Amino acid sequence: MHTRLARRVLGATCLAALLAAGSAAYANRAAGDACAAALPPGAQSIYAAAVDQVVAGGDPRTVVTDVVKPMVMSGQMDRNTARANAEAAAPCLKQAKS
């Protein structure tokens, strides 16, 4: 009987921890999204293309490079604009990841 109670308490504790972790991640993503809403359009597009990968654990610098390079190569942005937009999006991506 004592073992059954211990298992229930442990199960409830694990469930509470998982729910808390999930809501914290959502809150951080919401903060990142709010930050990105104030960005110029080019930086917003970089944020939108990169945020899911960054939140999932990707290295922000690598993810942003992988997102921006095709934009530059296709002529959507020139190199200097892409760099400025990536630098503008970086703090919002960091917020979303934290």
pLDDT tens by residue, 73-91: 999 999 999 999 999 999 9
pTM above 0.75, yes or no: no
pLDDT tens by residue, 30-39: 999 999 999 9
Q: Are 27 and 97 in contact (CB under 8 A)?
A: no
The kind and range of the H/E element at 10 are: helix 2-37
